[in-house]
């Protein structure tokens, strides 16, 4: 499995933009997503497949590359799978996942076209059905993590994506809870669409981290540094976590259970949080 600390930022790049695909792997985003779906103009799906295929052949191995295909309900998904050399990708991103069968069907199609494959799958939860089935999706074979699609979900629900909908808030929580219940990497939050509003981006990323997301989808390279910073532990958090882990090791060797460290009661849950922070440390 990929280290938790390395899925802080996942940058989408349109599959029709050859130069941008080549540039994406030189940026600081933890993951580059070569996109065959929403960012591709209607009628250019075949062009995007060939451009992504050629870009993968040129840049694979230079960064971590995921490829977003069309939804399992679309005949375009099979065309995507037939064209893309997935042995050069690190994961496939499947949008609009409604249930376990979508994951199973995508993986079966890849194996039918390419032969045996252990390619991880990132499942995008962005419909009401997907939210309600999030645990079974997360437990499907080969799923690496879930990604939340706020904008598609808000369209599905008929609500304003920025209007404070209780249904959207519940969906966010469901994706976080399902990720833990299915023992997955922390989920990846929706992107911030206002390219030049970096203060808004930072606030959205901070909210995502506080809600339990491990990283964020991005639509513009200028968002990478801010998101990487927000989803990395601060120096203060690292110092606290190191102190907790060191004191826990001492307590364990002395046969103690819960104990006090720097005025804080420390039990198994606190130590688990400290170890989680250290696993997310960059480097």
How far, in Å, CA of 150 to CA of 126, rounded?
6
Total residue count of the chain as it appears in this document: 283
Determine the average pLDDT of the residues in 252-276. 85
Handedness of CA 171, 9, 43, 48 (dihedral sign): negative
Task: Give the CB-side neighbour count of residue 59, counting CA atoms within 13 A.
Answer: 24
- Rounded to whole angstroms, what are the CA distances from 41 to 15, 48, 56? 10, 9, 20
Are 230 and 205 in contact by the 8 Å Cβ rule? The answer is yes
What pLDDT, on a 0 to 100 scale, did the predictor assign at position 72? 98
Q: Which of 230, 249, 269 is the last residue of a domain?
A: 230
Angle at 139 between CA 135 and CA 145, to 5 degrees: 85
pLDDT tens-place string over residues 46-99: 999 999 999 999 999 999 999 999 999 999 999 999 999 999 999 999 999 999
What are the residues whose beta carbons fall under 8 Å from the beta carbon of 29, sequence distance 6 or more?
9, 10, 11, 218, 221, 224, 228
Report the alpha-carbon distance of residue 157 to residue 185 in Å, rounded.
27
Q: Bridge partners of 152?
A: none
Domain count, the chain: 2
Residue 2: predicted pLDDT: 44
Query: 267 and 224 share a domain?
Result: no
Choose the final residue of a domain: 230, 254, 269.
230
Same domain, 27 and 160: yes
Range of the domain at 258: 235-279
Between 273 and 111, the more confident residue is: 111
| CATH number of 20's domain | 3.20.20.60
- Residue of 242, 207, 252 lying closest to 227 (CA atoms): 207
Cα-flanking dihedrals φ and ψ of residue 11, to 5°?
-95, 120
Convert the pLDDT of each residue in 25-46 to its tens digit: 999 999 999 999 999 999 999 9
Is 193 in the same domain as 253?
no
Residues 6 or more apart whose Cβ sits within 8 Å of residue 151: 126, 161, 190, 193
| 41 and 69 both lie in a single domain | yes
Read off the pLDDT of residues 144-197 as tens digits, 9 standing for 90 and up.
999 999 999 999 999 999 989 999 999 999 999 999 999 999 999 999 999 999
Which region among 50-59, 117-126, 256-265 has the lowest average model confidence (pLDDT)? 256-265
Q: Give the tens place of pLDDT for each residue, 228-242.
A: 999 998 888 888 989
Confidence category of residue 4, pLDDT binned at 50, 70, 90: very low
In this model, does residue 5 exceed pLDDT 90? no
Co-location of 35 and 153 in the same domain: yes
pLDDT score at 283:
61
264: enclosing H helix or E strand: strand 264-266
Stretch 205-219: mean pLDDT: 97
Check whether residue 102 and residue 213 sit in a common domain.
Answer: yes
Say if residue 177 is in the same domain as residue 243: no
| Judgement on whether residues 239 and 270 belong to the same structural domain of the protein | yes
The helix/strand/coil state of 138 is helix
Are 183 and 103 found together in one domain?
A: yes
pLDDT band at 16 (very low <50, low <70, confident <90, very high): very high
Enter the tokens of residue 65: 């590359």
Q: Do residue 202 and residue 246 come from a single domain?
A: no
Judge if 19 and 77 occupy the same domain: yes
Are both 177 and 217 inside the same structural domain?
yes
What stretch of H or E contains 68?
Answer: strand 65-68
Measured from the Cβ of residue 163, the count of other Cβ atoms closer than 10 Å reads 8
């Amino acid at each position: 499995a990929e280290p938790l600390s390395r899925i802080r930022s996942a940058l989408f790049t349109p599959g029709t933009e050859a130069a941008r695909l080549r540039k994406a792997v030189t940026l600081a985003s933890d993951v580059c997503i070569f996109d065959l779906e929403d960012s591709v103009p209607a009628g250019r799906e075949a062009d995007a497949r060939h451009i992504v295929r050629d870009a993968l052949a040129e840049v694979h191995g230079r960064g971590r590359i995921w490829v977003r295909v069309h939804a399992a309900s679309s005949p375009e998904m099979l065309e995507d799978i037939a064209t893309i050399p997935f042995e050069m990708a690190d994961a496939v991103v499947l949008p609009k996942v409604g249930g376990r069968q979508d994951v199973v069907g995508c993986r079966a199609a890849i194996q039918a076209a390419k032969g045996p494959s252990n390619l991880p799958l990132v499942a995008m939860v962005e419909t009401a059905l997907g939210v309600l089935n999030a645990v079974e999706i997360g437990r499907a074979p080969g799923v690496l993590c879930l990604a939340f699609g706020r904008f598609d979900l808000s369209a599905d629900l008929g609500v304003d994506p920025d209007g404070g909908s209780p249904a959207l808030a519940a969906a966010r929580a469901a994706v976080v809870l399902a990720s833990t219940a299915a023992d997955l990497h922390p989920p990846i939050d929706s992107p911030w669409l206002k390219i030049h509003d970096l203060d808004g981006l930072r606030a959205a990323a901070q909210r995502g981290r506080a809600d339990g997301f491990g990283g964020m989808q991005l639509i513009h390279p200028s968002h990478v540094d801010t998101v990487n910073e927000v989803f990395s532990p601060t120096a203060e958090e690292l110092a606290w976590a190191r102190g907790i882990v060191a004191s826990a090791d001492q307590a364990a060797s002395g046969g103690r259970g819960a104990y006090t460290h720097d005025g804080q009661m420390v039990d198994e849950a606190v130590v688990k949080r400290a170890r989680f922070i250290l696993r997310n440390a960059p480097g």
